[in-house]
Chain A
Amino acid sequence: MVKRRPDLDAVFSALADPTRRRIVERLVRGELTVGEIAAEFPISQPAISKHVKILEQSGLLTREIDGRVHRCRVSLAAMRDAAHWLEEQERFWNGALDNLDDFLARTSPDKEQR
């Protein structure tokens, strides 16, 4: 079994679900209780709780428990880690694909004829 970086995998896997992405987008604008999140989405509160739990386990969401009220907010550090990983991959591939363009132009078989 390949050892993987658990945090990043959990973050991407959490973000792979459209409802969870919308929850994150919503929480970026301000913290909400689980009940408030549930009120904004056309799915049951238990389903929302499950999504919140997955987001929490990924590190994207932190929960503050005040009596019976669970306040949720987004962890910008986890978002930044994901953005940083993505940026590295994008930089790598954009660099390589630019090089490929140069290489193909340099080695073009019909370069002489044009």
Chain B
Amino acid sequence: MSNTQAPTAALVIRRTYKASRSRVFAAWTQPELLRQWFAPPPGWTIPEATIDARVGGTYRITFRSPDGTVRIVGGVFREYREPERFSYTWAWDDRDRDAGEMLVSVDLRDHGDETELILTHENFADQTSYARHEGGWQLSLTNLAAIL
């Protein structure tokens, strides 16, 4: 009997953009474009980004805070289907602060002149289990808050 693997917990965020899939896909996978938007907190920048966009290719993104703190995230592409989907492993260099290797998937759905983006961030406990648990269970602050 194979061991019963629990589905991984996943954070799922959906957004719709007024742009074609190919533009959204390029914004994620071309380093010079990604550098222009990917650093979320105000004042943070991305001094360096390398993305070898293909299955098995690696990426590495360096974030820099206003006070000079540097944090690096990187991983390996697991799936790459331009312009509809990619997934990559996601691990911060500072492992004391963050859980180790996670999986981030980006799905792009074509709705005419809009693109729906579905981002899935999984905290998967077993590195070989992710493919078998498409979907996993959705985790959100609202349903966790309901528990709390």
Give the interface of A toward B (CB within 8 A): 2-5, 8-9, 12-13, 15-18, 21, 24-25, 28, 76, 79-80, 82-83, 85-87, 89-105, 107-109
A74 to chain B, nearest CB (A): 9
Q: Are A96 and B40 in contact (CB under 8 A)?
A: yes
Complex alpha-carbon distance, A28 and B64, angstroms: 40
Q: Please indicate the chain A residues that have their CB under 8 angstroms from the CB of B121 in the complex.
A: 89, 93
Dominant secondary structure of chain A at its interface with chain B = helix
| Residue among B15, B98, B99 facing the most chain A CB atoms (10 A cut-off) | B99
Residue of A nearest to B42 (CB): A95
Q: Please indicate the chain B residues that have their CB under 8 angstroms from the CB of A76 in the complex.
A: 148
Provided the pairs A96-B38, A101-B17 are in contact, do residues A13 and B147 lie with their beta carbons within 8 angstroms? no
Provided the pairs A83-B145, A95-B40, A100-B27 are in contact, do residues A90 and B125 lie with their beta carbons within 8 angstroms? no
Q: Please indicate the chain A residues that have their CB under 8 angstroms from the CB of B76 in the complex.
A: none
| Residue among A8, A87, A97, A102 facing the most chain B CB atoms (10 A cut-off) | A97
Q: Are B17 and A100 in contact (CB under 8 A)?
A: yes
Residue of B nearest to A104 (CB): B19
Q: Are B136 and A2 in contact (CB under 8 A)?
A: no
Sample (8) of A-B pairs whose CB atoms are under 8 Å apart: A2-B95, A9-B123, A12-B125, A83-B141, A93-B40, A93-B119, A100-B15, A100-B24
Provided the pairs A99-B40, A100-B24, A104-B27 are in contact, do residues A16 and B137 lie with their beta carbons within 8 angstroms? yes
Using A2-B127, A82-B144 as known contacts, list a sample of 4 further A-B pairs with CB atoms less than 8 Å apart, ordered by residue number in A: A12-B123, A93-B119, A100-B15, A105-B18
Q: Are A28 and B37 in contact (CB under 8 A)?
A: no
B13 to chain A, nearest CB (A): 5
Residue B72 at the chain A interface, CB threshold 8 Å:
no
| Residue among A15, A87, A100, A109 facing the most chain B CB atoms (10 A cut-off) | A100
Q: Please indicate the chain A residues that have their CB under 8 angstroms from the CB of B83 in the complex.
A: none
Complex alpha-carbon distance, A95 and B139, angstroms: 18
